[in-house]
Structure formats: C-alpha cells, structure tokens
Homo-oligomer: A and B are copies of this chain.
Amino acid sequence: MAAANVRDVAALAGVSVGTVSNVLNASKPVAPETAKRVLDAIEKLGFIRNDAARQLRVGQSRTVGIMVLDVSNPFFTDIARGAEDALALTGRSLILGNSGEEAHRELGYLDLFEEQRVAGLLITPVGDVLSRLERLRSRGSPVVLVDRHENARSFSSVSVDDLQGGALAAGHLLDVGRTRLAFVGGPQQVLQVAERLRGARDTVLARGARPLRVLEFETMRADVGRVGAEQLLALAPSERPDAVFAANDLIALGVLQALTSAGVRVPDDIAIIGYDDIYFAANAAIPISSIRQPAAEMGRTAAELLLEEIEHPGLKDYRHVFFPPELIVRASTAGADAPH
C-alpha cells in the first residue's frame, strides 16, 4: 500500500534504479524496449516521483515563487498568469505568495521560498528586503523585480514608465478641456505612486494649468476612492475639481461609485481616469478611462528574464525592460465638453 518508488519500478522492470532515472529524465539514452518495460512498470505501480528526494539531490526545485502586493487586484493576478504561462513551457510551476502590502507577511513568504530552494523569484517588494534578495540569489535562486526598479540596478526588472503614465493621464484630462485636476492615491513611499503623481504634476505645470490638488492615502484599495471623492464633494463649488486622476483603477472605481451615488454626472461634471486598465474598470457601468499596463506581458517577460538567469547562473547581465504605458480613453473622460 505504500507508494511505489524507483526501486520498486526497477525491480518490476528488471533493470537498475539508474536506468529508471534515465528514462524519467531522458538524461542518458535508453534502449527503446528497455524504456518501454520501465514505463509499463511505472504505469502498473502508479509510480509518482518524489519531488523532495529529487530536489534534495539536485539542490534546486522546479517551482518559481512570485510575491505580489494584493491578490484581490486583478492587475497582479494577470501578471501572475502571464508568468505562469511562460514557466509552463519549461515544465516549471508557480507558487504564489500574497504579501498584502504587509512587510511581515512578505518576510514569512521569503522564508518559505528560501526553505524550498525555489528555482527563482519574481517579486514586487514591500519592505526593505534587498539584502534578503541578494542572499537568496547568492544561494542559487535568482530574483527579478516586477514593477519596481528603483534602487536596485543589481537585479533584472520589468516595469512601466510611471512618469510618462502620469503625464499621459494628466495630459489627456487637460486635452478634453479640464482645468482643475485632483490626484487621489496611495502612499508616496510607493515609488509607482510617487512617479505617477510627479508625471501628472509636471504636466500640469508645464501646460500652465492650475496646480494639481493631491489627496494622499495609506493604501491603494477602492475604499480610498470613496473617501477621496467625499472629500472632493465637500469643497466649495469654485474649488471643486472637474477631473480626478486615481492612482489605480480600484481607487477610480471607488471614486466613480461615490460620485454617481452623490448625483454627480461622470464625465460631465467630473471626469475620471484610473491606472492599470483592469477588467472591472473597463466594464464599469460608466467605463473608466485608464493608463494601461500590459500586465500579462509584464509577467511573461519577467519570467523569461528569470529563466535566462536560471539557465545561465553566474551571468551577471541584469536587464531592465520598460514597457510604455498606453492611454485608453473611455466614457469616464470622453464624449463630453468641459463643464461650463
């Protein structure tokens, strides 16, 4: 009743365990009829290779870890799926950790990944874990940063030019005739947020519009959007913005919901633009304009960079792939003139 192992297979097939391994891994040629006997034995015994033993011997696993900030955000699950697709082609699989933007959870998963000797790691870091990542790499698990290139030229990375993204968003709002722009978003410690804001602010300045009003919050979740919208509605009419740039689509959804339920017309009274271009924003009852980040492609590319490092260890040729952000115009900013 105990699970069969290679020894059992070898005995049944009348060969040595080494031969079984060669069949399993195609590491050395095996005569066709011998291979068939082995495969038959595997089939008959229902043998499933014990990955722990394999891994112990080889020193590395066939799974790759990915750590995301928020599994509830479709942007991150799309990245994960892109990565999964690329890895599947090489017979590797993905194990997903969700830090939830909490540093202690991030550390817990790093421990896990390190104990597992993962083949590599894709990560959007939360806390100050760079030295930890260096160690992981020095122990044979290369690391690729996703959507966060910052102070880390020493790791390969994929990211989107958030400065340009912020500029695109603000530029578009100005283009459709808006003059009083507000930014609603997460903490500026998050590099992406800071850059999106800076891009927007610079654009507003350069085009001589009124200064950007900034509402800063602690997280990037939708409830932030609702609170932000309420703060905007509390302003005197002359102060009230006629356009909102939300740091991501989750926030934009919150803003939209709060505004419409307060009777504000979108986009006639206030236009809204988000960031990420997630499915639910595109399909909101008033579809939300957004700055698209090619999530799946980013995930795929990150996985490919990682695979390169996995397959050529020691090659310190770190690459940084930047994707251009893309403006997607939808009803939440289009089809209406500036309010009078």
Contact = CB atoms under 8 A, between A and B. Distances in A.
Given A77-B71, A98-B84, A283 B222 contact: yes
A264 to B, nearest CB: 11
Interface in A97-153: 98, 108-109, 111-112, 114-117, 135, 138-139
B279 A256 contact: no
Q: How many copies does the complex hold?
A: 2
B48 A114 contact: yes
A80 B71 contact: yes
A191 interface: no
Given A50-B56, A285-B285, A93 B77 contact: no
B286 A116 contact: no
Contacts of A84: 98
B46 A135 contact: yes
A61 B61 CA distance: 14
**Main secondary structure on A side of the interface with B:** helix
Contacts of A254: 283
A280 B254 CA distance: 10
Contact of A3 (B51, B77, B139, B279): B139
Interface extent on A, as a size class?
A: 35 or more
Contact of A52 (B55, B80, B114): B55
Nearest to A109: B93
B279 A257 contact: no
Contacts of A46: 135
A48 B111 contact: yes
A56 B26 CA distance: 23
A138 B88 CA distance: 28
A89 interface: no
30 contacts: A48-B114, A48-B139, A50-B56, A50-B115, A51-B52, A51-B115, A51-B116, A52-B56, A52-B61, A52-B116, A53-B56, A71-B71, A71-B77, A72-B74, A72-B77, A72-B78, A84-B98, A88-B108, A93-B109, A93-B112, A95-B96, A253-B280, A253-B283, A254-B283, A256-B285, A257-B284, A257-B285, A284-B285, A285-B285, A285-B286
